[in-house]
Amino acid sequence: MASVISTTPKNSQPVQIKSVYIETFGCQMNKSDSEHMLGLLDEIGFQQTAEMKEADLMILNTCAIREGAEDKVYSYLGAWNKHKKTRPGTLIAVGGCVAQDAGKSMLERAPGVDIVFGTHNLHRLPDLVLQAQKTGERIVELLQELPEDLPEIPVIRQSEISAWVSIIYGCDYNCTYCIVPYVRGREKSRTMDIIVDEIKELSAVGYREVTLLGQNVTAYGHDLSPKVHLGHLIERVGAESGIKRIRFLTGHPRDINTEIMDAVKNVEAACEYFHLPIQAGDDRTLRRMARGYNVDFYRRIVEQIRERLPNAAVTTDLIVGFPGETQEEFMNTVNLVEEIGFDAANTAAYSPRPHTPAANWEQQIPTEEKNERLRFLNSVVTETSHKCNKRYLGNTEQILVEGRSQKGENRMMGRTRTNKIVNFEGADSLVGELVDVRITATNPWALRADLIN
Ligand code: SAH
Ligand code: SF4
Ligand code: F3S
């Protein structure tokens, strides 16, 4: 173990450098939270390691969105517990959405766990770790809501090019299948000033792209006074920060409006990419999901986007096998994928979740049937994505180079403004650059291109 001594700004006592290994499941919000955990732990002398074997502290940041994600948590914790026996003194901490839900019961189900903390008290992690180290006791600490004054939390980002910036936490909707409001609490926006300052700093140190994050990013600002919306924020970030690309994720169809679309159109840095989960292409299903819109409403939104930004990419999330979904209703979803022509879609079989009404409804669809519908939907999504991608053939596109492609020697990877993955031959020195490429080939998931000099 490294024995470097450093002084932290916070308690100015010399601390031993230790190492932390972190594994993150779930959405971008969780990934961003993990970066903040690393920032917080750095202040008490923990540095990230990619080697689980040498970690003094192991953190699992968990996702509860589907049963499978939750099962994965307990199987990881079982393996981590075995590892811990070979390395006494290692601490295991569990955070994120499963921890927020399970709380104390996690200590029984996962014997090796030392610390359980939730989604609302990340800022407490250093104290909890120090306390566990000192006392050897197991700790569970959860808050029901975020603190009134949002603490500004240090961060160590994994990318030096593209940064996640949370702008709103929580979700005020109550979709009948979804556990997120239960584990993430009510909507709470960060102020525009704080967000713009953060992005100015990111731009100043060389970041090229930010993704404005929230479970429901299109609801941004309704809880601030004066009220603002995402369009205002995009305009300010565009005008003041110097960042080259602005993205946002995830939008709710009900909250997106033409002002937000206009901001994306007018602000050069704002990328013409809209991720708008529709969940189902059938009105009765949408009503029972309590989504607050029907298919026509969604069609109109896509129309409004395409009127302003004809080349915009539109992606979505879809659930199949919602309780009571008939074959005909399922086919309405399939047909809508083709009709809208989604650039991509995250698809999932409905999974009953605790604390959600739909989990207790009769007419649950058998697993086999759900999986069959999922396979069929996926084949249509793949075909539709490929059609969208083929339209890029021969185009000149600006891409932001992110790094080496996994596809082999000399292959680099970047993304178009519409978030398409592009593989091309080029040098490592291009990482972080915005370059023009000509698209030469496509498949459903990515584009191939030649660099234009
Ligand atoms: N706030 C976003 C989505 C957040 S959850 C929105 O409202 O659109 C991410 C995705 O997980 C959802 O879009 C949904 O497709 C999926 N999901 C949520 N709960 C699920 C469940 N119980 N079973 C299957 N998929 C689910
Ligand atoms: Fe879940 Fe619905 Fe909130 Fe999205 S809007 S996080 S699907 S409750
Ligand atoms: Fe999963 Fe929690 Fe995100 S449940 S999808 S990690 S908000």
Domain at 222, CATH number: 3.30.750.210
Residues 233 and 298 reside in one and the same domain: no
Rounded-to-5 percentages of helix, strand, coil across the chain: 40, 25, 40
Is 146 domain-assigned?
no
Number of domains present in the structure of the chain: 4
Is 197 domain-assigned?
yes
Residues 133 and 167 reside in one and the same domain: no
In tens, the pLDDT along 359-406 reads: 999 999 999 999 999 999 999 999 999 999 999 999 999 999 999 987
pLDDT of residue 83: 94
Q: Which of 29, 175, 317, when mutated, tests ligand 2's pocket best, judged by the most ligand atoms within 8 Å of its CB? A: 175
Q: Is 21 within 8 Å of 51 (Cβ atoms)? A: yes
Residue 285: pLDDT above 60? yes
In degrees and rounded to multiples of 5, residue 308 shows phi and psi of: -80, -40
Is 10 domain-assigned?
no
Residues 237 and 182 reside in one and the same domain: yes
Cβ(179) – ligand 2 distance below 6 Å: no
Atom of ligand 1 nearest to the CA of 173: 7
Residues 180 and 237 reside in one and the same domain: yes
Q: Which two tokens stand for residue 438?
A: 């000509």
Segment 124-144 shows an average pLDDT of: 96
Cβ(224) – ligand 1 distance below 6 Å: no
Is 151 domain-assigned?
no
pLDDT of residue 150: 86
Final residue of a structural domain among 359, 391, 423: 391
Which structural domain range is residue 327 located in?
Answer: 279-391
Q: Is 284 exposed, middle or buried (0-12, 13-18, 19+ CB in 10 A)?
A: middle
C-beta pairs of 305-309 under 8 Å, 24+ apart in sequence: 305/261, 305/274, 308/258, 308/261, 308/262, 308/264, 308/265, 309/261, 309/264, 309/265, 309/272
Residue 410 or residue 159, greater confidence? 159
CA of 380 to the centre of ligand 1 (A): 20
CA of 336 to the centre of ligand 1 (A): 18
pLDDT of residue 5: 38
Quote the CA–CA distance of 212 and 210 in Å, as a whole number: 6
Residues 333 and 404 reside in one and the same domain: no
CA-proximal residue: ligand 2, atom 2 (nearest): 175
Quote the CA–CA distance of 328 and 91 in Å, as a whole number: 51
pLDDT of residue 8: 44
The helix or strand, by DSSP H or E, that contains position 195, with its residue range, turns out to be: helix 192-204
Cβ(65) – ligand 1 distance below 6 Å: yes
Cβ(175) – ligand 2 distance below 6 Å: yes
CA of 318 to the centre of ligand 1 (A): 8
Residue 34: pLDDT above 50? yes
Q: Which of 180, 215, 351, when mutated, tests ligand 3's pocket best, judged by the most ligand atoms within 8 Å of its CB? A: 180
Cβ(171) – ligand 2 distance below 6 Å: yes
Q: Which residues lie with the beta carbon below 6 Å from any ligand 3 atom?
A: 26-27, 29-30, 63-65, 96-97, 180, 183-184
